[in-house]
Amino acid sequence: MTRVKEFNLPDLGEGLTEGEILKWLVGVGDVIALNQPIVEVETAKAAVEIPAKWAGKVTRIFHDEGTMVEVGQPIIAIDTDPGAGDLPETPDVPAPSAASLAAVEVAGDGPVEPGMIGGPAPGGRTAVLVGYGPRTTAAKRRPRSAAAPAPVQEPAAVPREPAPQPPAPPAAPPAVAPRAGAGVLAKPPVRKLARDLGVDLTGIDGTGPGGSITRDDVLTAQSAPAAAPRAVVAPRRPGEREERIPVKGVRKLTAENMVASAFTAPHVTEFLTVDVTRSMKALERLKAHRDWRDVRVSPLLMVAKAALLGLRRYPMVNSTWAGDEIVVKHYVNLGIAAATQRGLIVPNIKDAQDLTTRELADAMSALVGTAREGKTPPADMAGGTFTITSVGVFGVDTGTPILPPGEAAILCFGAVREQPWVHKGKVKVRQVTTLGLSFDHRIIDGELGSKFLRDVGAFLDDPEAALLAWG
């Protein structure tokens, strides 16, 4: 059995056929452990870290960062027995060193423990994502020279100058500068966040262990006013009037889905303005409760609870069009639209109808936190049945959202504002919001859509009474 094995880009599930190399977490010469994350790959649905299938020494990286790679193509080669000595050189392979990979074995040449990398996972899929195996040790990097290539020895009998001079230290960085922040201590996700936000890591004092830079450090630096103008990461060339941004990853998939949905399902949108003062007061009482003091609670929780009760009363809203039939689903995979650095994604909470209010709050917090970190797995974005999008966080009153493919309705939650409102025969200042419900008119007619939206609004107007009446 050969020592050097090629690790192909695995099938990340959900029918994805390619991915973009975002970030290499190891380099040639690194000694890595089994299941250690080695590369961050962006698919059309999420950014995921792929762990190593074998322990050993990295001998070759086949693709640079930013390269699109098809599933099944080799991405890295690993010497699984680096202690056995140098690999023999092979002149047929166009590689300049002993790491020329004379013999290569394709991944998958032996039985693998179920649940580990390459082994069967629940549902018959191959386990390839982070979390399917323990991360035992950190990567060990070999010493690297501060200057670039090793010096070439020259004959001492032929001096280049009349008097030998000691080598002078470089007065400036080399012509080919390293990547921004290469000399600072920060984890790959933090570096990616800094790159996306245009933050220079070299100007940040880390507050993490050992002086490492944390996510909060990057966000603070990005939001704090700078004393001097910050250097632009990609300056616009003089006279440049246009910028071309490649459409790929999440943005490409979102565009395809929205076009397919908009021109397939006949959309109808209805609006309802609601006095949510009682809901906001109920939230404040909930936050003060001893069992909820460590829970992140927002108005979106009340909207989600109202929608789940409405879907229980009108199950046809939680359905999908299947050509010759309508599939009514008696489970709710509740999608929450989340804006991330990579674009809009809609992860969903599986079987949300079975959760208590506290469990729903915890699930929503975990979902949004994972999405903002860019770690949402593709499985969490598949199988949604009903979606809520909150535009109120951006100060927008409402909107006419487009249906996610396969869903019959989507609810838009606008900003909560203090407005004059007639309450008990008098004009008072109340907290008011506007809901927008878009639905597939092939499944949901005006009566059904109106009743569902009305009941969601009734819950938000008086949640205690609605829970007593419907719960």
- Work out the percent of the chain whose per-residue pLDDT is above 90: 34
What pLDDT does residue 278 have? 95
Does residue 127 surpass a pLDDT of 90?
no
Out of 98-102, 248-252, 426-430, least confident range: 98-102
- 121 domain residue, yes or no: no
**Which CATH number covers residue 202?**
4.10.320.10
pLDDT-based confidence at residue 104 (cuts at 50, 70, 90): very low
> What are the phi and psi torsion angles at 55 (to 5°)?
-85, 155
219, 353: one domain: no
Domain boundary among 106, 141, 158: 106
- 359-417 pLDDT, tens digit per residue, is 999 999 898 888 877 788 878 888 999 999 999 988 999 999 999 989 999 999 999 99
The catalytically annotated residue of 267, 289, 330, 441 is: 441
Q: Say whether 330 is catalytic.
A: no
Out of 256-270, 310-324, 325-339, 441-455, least confident range: 256-270
- 203-249 pLDDT, tens digit per residue, is 787 787 777 788 777 777 766 544 433 444 455 666 677 878 787 77
- 180 domain residue, yes or no: no
pLDDT-based confidence at residue 453 (cuts at 50, 70, 90): very high
Out of 7-11, 90-94, 218-222, least confident range: 90-94
CA separation for the pair 187, 212 (Å, rounded) = 8
130 CB-contact burial (10 Å; exposed 0-12 / middle 13-18 / buried 19+): middle
Give the total number of structural domains in the chain: 3
CA 337 and chain centroid, separation: 12
What pLDDT does residue 116 have? 38
Chain mean pLDDT for the chain: 76
Does residue 259 surpass a pLDDT of 90?
no
202, 287: one domain: no
Higher per-residue confidence, 96 vs 271: 271
Domain boundary among 106, 125, 154: 106
What pLDDT does residue 448 have? 96
What pLDDT does residue 152 have? 43
- 316 domain residue, yes or no: yes
280, 400: one domain: yes
What pLDDT does residue 87 have? 60
Q: What is the DSSP string of 299-313?
A: HHHHHHHHHHHHHHH
Domain boundary among 73, 106, 139: 106
What pLDDT does residue 215 have? 75
What pLDDT does residue 252 have? 76
CA separation for the pair 55, 275 (Å, rounded) = 60
CA 18 and chain centroid, separation: 16
- 139-191 pLDDT, tens digit per residue, is 344 444 444 444 444 444 444 444 455 554 444 444 433 444 445 677 767 77
What pLDDT does residue 16 have? 66
257, 192: one domain: no
What pLDDT does residue 222 have? 64
pLDDT-based confidence at residue 254 (cuts at 50, 70, 90): confident
What pLDDT does residue 341 have? 74
Helix-, strand-, coil-residue percentages of the chain, each rounded to 5: 25, 20, 50
Q: Which two tokens stand for residue 4?
A: 């050097």
Higher per-residue confidence, 36 vs 206: 36
What pLDDT does residue 227 have? 41
CA separation for the pair 449, 105 (Å, rounded) = 58
- 244 domain residue, yes or no: no
414, 284: one domain: yes
215, 257: one domain: no
What pLDDT does residue 374 have? 77
Give mean pLDDT, residues 243-270. Answer: 79
218, 318: one domain: no
Does residue 354 surpass a pLDDT of 80?
yes
Cα dist. 231→194, 199, 202, 227, 237 in Å? 13, 9, 12, 12, 14
Does residue 420 surpass a pLDDT of 60?
yes
Beta bridge partners of 48: 41
Does residue 14 surpass a pLDDT of 50?
yes
What pLDDT does residue 234 have? 54
194, 300: one domain: no
H helices of 380-445, in order, are: none
**Which CATH number covers residue 322?**
3.30.559.10
The residue segments making up the domain with residue 217 are: 188-223
CA 335 and chain centroid, separation: 15
Angle at 257 between CA 253 and CA 262, to 5 degrees: 150
